[in-house]
Amino acid sequence: MDDHTRQVLQQLVSGVDRAGMRAPIGLILDMLSPIDVLSSQLARFSLPFLGGTRAETYALVLGEPDAWRELRRLLDTRSQP
């Protein structure tokens, strides 16, 4: 996984933290982990609708199944780097 992907995911985790939703989002992502490939396809499908928005960057990154695993790992860690 490249540095840009990690940076975008870290920004997403920071936003989740600011919203106070780390535990609920982590739980939901853990439940959906068996369908990471489908989640990635949904993220890719949404790209035409998100063009030009801040969410486009996240959808691009989450278009890869490995990004979902990394996002769960980042949410599972107590302290952030």
Domain range enclosing 26: 3-76
Under DSSP, the state recorded for 80 is -
Is 60 within the bounds of a domain? yes
Burial of 65 (0-12, 13-18, 19+ CB in 10 A): middle
| Tally of domains within the chain | 1
Chain centroid to Cα 79, Å, comes to 18
d(CA 49, CA 78): 34
pLDDT digit string (tens) for the chain, length 81 residues: 899 999 999 999 999 999 999 999 999 999 999 999 999 999 999 999 999 999 999 999 999 999 999 999 999 986 444
Long-range contact set of residues 12-16: C-beta below 8 Å, sequence gap at least 24? 12/58, 12/71, 13/71, 13/74, 13/75, 13/80, 14/80, 16/75
Is 81 within the bounds of a domain? no
pLDDT at 78: 62
Is 59 within the bounds of a domain? yes
pLDDT at 80: 47
